[in-house]
Chains A and B, each alone.
Chain A
Amino acid sequence: MKQAVRDQLGPIVAAALLATIVWAWFWRPPFSWTFGVLVVIGTVGAGIADGRYALRRLAGVIPVLVGVSFVVFALMASLPGDPAINILGPAATADQIAIVRTELGLDEPFFNRYGNWLGGVLTGDLGTSIVLREDVADGISRSMTPTLQIMAYSVVIALGFAIPLGIWAGYRQGTKTDGTINNVMLGFLATPNFVLAVMLVLFLSIGGLSVAGNEIGFRVLPAARYVPLGEDVVLHFKHMLLPSLALAMGQAAVFMRLLRSDMIATLRLPFIDLARSKGLPTRRILWRHALRPSSFTLLTVVGLTVGLLIGGALIVEFIFTIPGVGAYIFLGVTQRDFIAVQGGVLVISTLYIVVLTMSDFLYLALDPRLRGREVGARA
């Protein structure tokens, strides 16, 4: 039985992922639940595929998480002078100072404070925000959904552009087609996402520029706000399209260039020649035979770009007035809401580590050839 599962692990995990997506689509659970289920699938899958590796990887994650929490906490604790006044600014009232002092437990020694704080964090207590007087954990978990959605959609869009273009450009390497695709994508790589976002809004949301009385542009897509998936599916995607697109195009360029060069390398391998000699159609060779072996680096990099995407998401959230976690942290910074920022940085870093680990686990579960091999281009 167990052997049977191991043999068919790839299809089983793929089916589980598909089922999760269907479930998320029709039942619309909070994004964090979907995310949790994906984590479970990845971990179990990797555990079955190569238990020792999965364990080692998980064991490696824990010290990193502890390290991150320590750095975040130490940053706060290393403020010179009275942290409470530093946090609140020179106009702190006695009341506010007292609240922050209690919040931070400032009268205790450093490691006790760190322990207490970590204990709170483990039980989901990130404190109360200084400005909005709201539970930080609530605020972050609420803000997380739009951010994760933007990131997920932009990865999908980026891959949607990158995979066909990468295959095509790799196949027609050195031709004019290849050159054109390369140059256009290089252009997207050089367009900062905030410039792209501003341009997209200008030309697709608010009617564009008026030249000699003629409007050059459209008013077809929303320019602001977020609509939850559970509220209205069509509206949700209308609202998410421009932010995701603004974030996606730069990534599409990176992905496409990677896939192209791996594709070129794969197409030189003998088994492709063999397939050609069997008279298989080109499309079939490219998509069925060449794509899978060429996409290993690409998938690794997709996991790695999550960090970049969070930074980008911050900017598009700001431009499109989306209540995401990037905007949450940014406003926390401008209002010196220290507790909110601390919580946000901790959660995002943790999430990032989990995503990186999961992306490795999923390849391992999906691709049997990787088993027993050291996974991860990061190694």
Chain B
Amino acid sequence: MARARSLAAAAAFALIAVACSAGDGGGVSGASPDPVGAAADDAASDTAVEDATTPQESQAEVVEAREAGEAAGEDTREVSGGPTHGGRLVYGIEADTANPFAPYAALCAISCRMIMRAVTESMYVTDANGDIVPYLVETETASDDFLTWTLRIRDGITFHDGTPLTGEAVAYNINLCRFSQQTGPGYLGIENVWGEGQYVYYETSIPFATGPGPASREQGCGFMFSPAWLRTLPNNPMYTSPFSPLSSEERAAGLADATGDPSAPVGLGAFKHVEYTPGNGNSFIAERNPDYWRGPDGITGENLPYLDEIEFVVAVDIVGRSNGLRAGQFDVIHTSNADEIAKYEGDPDFVLLQANDFGETNFSLMNVASGVNPVLAELRGAEGPIPMDPHGLNAANPLVHLSCRTALAHAFDSERFVSERFQGLVRAANGPFPPGSMGYLDDSGYPAFDLDAARASFEQCKADSGQNPVTFGFNSTNDPFNVESNELIVSMWRAAFGDEIAATIQPIEQGQYFGLALAGLYEMMGLRAHGGVDPIEQWLWWNSSTSLPIDPTVPELASNLGRFQDPAIDAAYDVIRHNPDPAARREAAEEVNRAFGRNVWNLWTHWTLWGVIANPRVQNITDLPIPGSDVGAFAVNAGAHHVAQIWCDNGDCQG
């Protein structure tokens, strides 16, 4: 029992890495400057020129949309002539992928998801309205009690190895994720998944209000791969995971034949894997899939993809990535560095798409572990109470006191932060849900910038914590931009409380960063997380049963990183998870937001803005139609977008 528990908890590692850079877009408005598509192209027809927005106009639009907190990063340039086939696109991505590329094992952040979107596709996608709609799935039906779900999978789709996408294939993919130590906890409550013909069946022990959509959209386990390939992988959870239903003989037999390469994915997407070389400056190369289901010989009568080849080059240094774009080595790059985005704003030589819709929130996470966790005690059937901090590792942390957290929130001038640090490109956050998503509130009750209130709370904080100066460590990633942003935050606290506060910024190497959060070995840390279309995607991070004790002797890795327990949030999530009524769910999500405001579990800073920047030869960066729907796919999802629909002028991306 204890082993299984800690394994399940350990699994959170992968989820964190995913969620922390995951995020999703949706939403309606958004525009991009269009300096080239219309104005500079002589071949454009007269009407096109007249209709075209001038750079200034579209610039104004995009600023307006962004300030409203809703920029989806849609590529709205006027297009001269139709799409052209051919060309090779070089895409500069921000990181390499750890444990590539099987979805149950990979730490699949933004860069990985761009690659996934090229080589394969997902059961569901997010559409331009922010709704999660079936994609590889044709129809979904639920029983009246929402305890069983039946999905029909589209006919006539094949993987790159020629095997068909059937119900069994989909169920195999999902079961690997269910049995994986890393991704399994996301499937709590799902008892059985199996396939038959083109159908997939889900059986759950709790009403499954949202269906499989949120867990099966265009990230992580939503992506489908050929079972023939998955069966050959040595890290296949069927052979390696303690949760696998196979007998030990079957596992051994499977492992003996497992000689496949997890870094050579066999999907069903518009592009086929050709070559992958790990490391900074190296790349993942994929070529056009002639048998794509949306291709000339496919089932939809479309003619995708347009590009012959796409190459994703890892360039971790944002300045190097940006220089490479300017000097012509990259055709497209993505970034969330506001300094870089600001430089491309209004630059007629490049196309800049900005997106913050349904994106991630940036915040300072605080470790509040103290006291006991009654919810966990009940769940585990423990005799006595379960102490959250049995070794007193967090005892000296002043941030366990609400007064201290409130004081810090009141002393943080968010308007100055976003205007000076981010040139007004981003919007100050007041809760976990960005504008446009379910649960967003104009006034969440989160403490606003108010120096008098800050000082009053701070007096209480000094009394509560018995500290003067009030001392804590503030972990930051090693990225120079983040370190500097956090230094600005600390300087605001010093301006408010002077020498009575001592917050020390500790830059931590990337490899340890999430680990310290999961293990609870930190006092405060900067984080970018909680992007998502539906609030159900955040349940793992915020509920009391995943708020585990800090105990290095029995590593219990809590996906509730702040280790708070909030009955209001727990109650609201009962509604969000089990009640199919949209109005009730929205009300509950707003209650979650208010609970965060009351208890200041996190210090919100801003909603993340992503920029996708391209040379102007690259066309139609975001607008992928969804077969059978009038609404296209959502544009830029926390920096990631679809690639099948991209083409380049005259079939040549470099010019």
**Cβ-defined contact, B278 with A139, below 8 A:** yes
Q: Does A114 contact B (CB under 8 A)?
A: no
Main secondary structure of the interface of B (DSSP, over half): loop
Q: Report yes or no: B240 in contact with A331, Cβ–Cβ below 8 A.
A: no
Chain A residue nearest to B522 (CB atoms) is: A90
Is A336 within 8 A of B511, CB to CB?
yes
* Cβ proximity bits A285-315 to B, threshold 8 Å, 1 near / 0 not: 0000000000000000000000000000000
Residues of A that sit less than 8 Å from B by CB = 88-95, 131-134, 139, 142-143, 201, 205-207, 219, 221-226, 317-324, 327-328, 331, 333-337
Is B11 interfacial (CB 8 A cutoff)? Answer: yes
Q: Assess whether B324 is interfacial by the CB under 8 Å rule.
A: yes
Q: How far is the CB of B137 from chain A (nearest CB, A)?
A: 31
- 24 A-B pairs whose Cβ atoms sit less than 8 Å apart in the complex: A89-B515, A90-B521, A91-B13, A91-B514, A91-B515, A131-B96, A132-B96, A133-B100, A134-B263, A134-B278, A206-B323, A219-B328, A224-B330, A225-B315, A318-B320, A319-B319, A321-B280, A321-B313, A323-B277, A327-B281, A334-B510, A335-B509, A335-B510, A335-B511
B327 touches A93 (CB 8 A): no
Give per-residue flags for B140-181: 1 if the beta carbon is below 8 A from chain A beta carbons, else 0. Answer: 000000000000000000000000000000000000000001
Q: Is B600 an interface residue (CB 8 A)?
A: no
Closest A residue to B235 by beta carbon equals A133
Kindly state the separation between the CA atoms of A371 and B329 in the bound complex, as whole angstroms: 51
Q: Is the CB of B515 within 8 A of A206?
A: no
| Beta-carbon contact of B100 and A319 below 8 Å | no
Residue from A139, A207, A221, A222 within 8 A of B279 (CB atoms): A139
**Residues in B neighbouring A333, C-beta threshold 8 A:** 509
Not counting A133-B262, A321-B317, A337-B511, a sample of 4 additional A-B residue pairs whose C-beta atoms are within 8 angstroms of each other reads A90-B516, A206-B323, A327-B279, A334-B511
| Residues of chain B within 8 A of A335, CB atoms compared | 98, 509-511
Contact A222/B518 with A132-B278, A133-B263, A321-B317 known, Cβ cut-off 8 Å: no
Which residue from chain B places its CB closest to the CB of A220 in the assembled complex? B327
Contact A319 B326 (CB under 8 A): no
Instruction: Give B302-333 as 1s and 0s: 1 = Cβ < 8 Å from A's Cβ atoms.
Output: 00000000000101110111011011111000
> Is the pair B510, A223 in contact by a Cβ cutoff of 8 Å?
no
Contacts of B11 in A (CB 8 A): 93
User: Which chain B residues lie closer than 8 Å to A327 at the CB level?
Assistant: 279-281
B residues at A contact (CB < 8 Å)? 6-7, 10-11, 13, 92, 96, 98-100, 181-182, 240, 262-263, 277-282, 313, 315-317, 319-321, 323-324, 326-330, 478, 509-512, 514-516, 518-519, 521, 552, 555, 557
Residue among A88, A91, A321, A328 making CB contact with B320, cutoff 8 Å: A321
A92 to B557, CA, bound (A): 9
Among B263, B279, B324, max chain A CB count under 10 A is at B279
Structural contact, B518 and A91, CB atoms closer than 8 A? yes
Cβ–Cβ contact A321 & B281, under 8 A: yes
| Smallest CB separation, B124 vs chain A (Å) | 28
Contact of B512 among A89, A131, A133, A324 (CB under 8 A): A89
Q: A371 to nearest B CB, angstroms?
A: 44
Residues of chain B contacted by A95 (CB below 8 angstroms): 181, 240
Q: Is A92 in contact with B515, judged by CB distance below 8 angstroms?
A: yes
Q: How far is the CA of A319 from the CA of B557 in the complex (A)?
A: 36
**Cross-chain contact A226 with B281 (CB below 8 angstroms):** yes
CB distance from B541 to the nearest CB of A (A): 15
| Neighbouring A residues of B13 by C-beta, 8 Å | 91, 93
Docked pose: A132 CA to B96 CA in angstroms:
8
Complex contact B96–A90 (CB within 8 A):
no
Known: A91-B13, A93-B13, A133-B262. A205 touches B326 (CB 8 A): yes
Q: Tell me, in angstroms, the Cα distance from A131 to B316 when the chains sit together.
A: 15
Q: Tell me how far the C-beta of B334 lies from the nearest C-beta in chain A, rounded to whole angstroms.
A: 15
Q: How far is the CB of B654 from chain A (nearest CB, A)?
A: 12
A222 to B321, CA, bound (A): 12
**Residues of A with C-beta under 8 A to B277:** 142, 323
Give the contacting residue for A223; candidates B280, B281, B323, B519; CB below 8 A: B323
Specify the chain B residue showing the minimal Cβ separation from A198.
Answer: B319
Chain B residue nearest in CB terms to A146: B281
Min Cβ gap A247→B in Å is 16
Cβ A223 vs Cβ B279 within 8 A: no
User: Separation in Å of the B101 CB from the closest CB of chain A?
Assistant: 10
**Would you call A90 and B279 a contact (CB within 8 A)?**
no
Q: Is the CB of A323 within 8 A of B320?
A: no
CB distance from B191 to the nearest CB of A (A): 24
Pairwise interchain contact A94-B279, C-beta atoms closer than 8 A: no
Q: A319: nearest residue on chain B (CB-CB)? A: B320
Given A94-B10, A133-B262, A320-B320 in contact, is the A334-B509 Cβ separation under 8 Å?
Answer: yes
Rounded to whole angstroms, the CA-CA distance of A318 and B480 in the bound complex is 14
For the complex of A and B, the 8 pairs showing the least CB-CB separation, nearest first, are: A91-B515, A224-B324, A336-B511, A323-B281, A223-B323, A90-B519, A223-B327, A89-B515
Contacts of B316 in A (CB 8 A): 321, 331
Query: Which chain A residue shows the least CB distance to B107?
Result: A131
A334 to B316, CA, bound (A): 12
B263: chain A residues at CB < 8 Å are 133-134
Assess whether A219 is in contact with B557, with CB atoms less than 8 Å apart: no
Are A318 and B519 neighbours in the complex by a CB distance under 8 Å?
no
CB distance from B555 to the nearest CB of A (A): 7
The minimal Cβ–Cβ distance linking B112 to chain A, given in whole angstroms, is 12
Which of B263, B315, B319, B320: most chain A CB closer than 10 A?
Answer: B320
With contact pairs A90-B512, A132-B98, A132-B279 given, residues A205 and B327 touching in the complex (Cβ less than 8 Å): yes
Across-interface contacts of B7 in A (CB, < 8 A): 93-94
Q: In the bound complex, do residue B279 and residue A143 qualify as a contact, i.e. CB atoms below 8 Å apart?
A: yes
Considering the chains assembled together, what is the distance between the CA atoms of A214 and B378 in angstroms?
A: 71
Question: Which B residues touch A207, using CB under 8 A?
Answer: 326
B512 cross-chain contacts in A, Cβ below 8 A: 89-90, 336
Q: Which of A89, A93, A142, A328 contacts B182 (CB 8 A)?
A: A93
- A53 CA / B100 CA spacing, docked (Å): 51
Q: Write the nearest CB–CB distance from A23 to chain B, whole angstroms.
A: 26
**Distance in Å from the Cβ of A337 to the closest Cβ of chain B?**
7
Say yes or no: A223 contacts B329, CB within 8 Å.
yes
The interface residues of chain A lying within 8 Å CB-to-CB of B324 are: 222-225, 321
Tell me, rounded to whole Å, the shortest Cβ–Cβ distance linking A336 to chain B: 3
**Contact B282 A89, beta carbon cutoff 8 Å:** no
When distances are taken between beta carbons in the complex, the residues of chain B under 8 Å from A201 are: 323, 327
Residues of A within 8 A of B327 (CB): 201, 205-206, 219, 221-224
Cα distance, A221 to B512, chains bound together (Å): 37
Q: How far is the CA of A322 from the CA of B281 in the complex (A)?
A: 5
Per the bound structure, the CA–CA distance linking A324 and B279 in Å amounts to: 9
Q: Is the CB of A91 within 8 A of B557?
A: yes
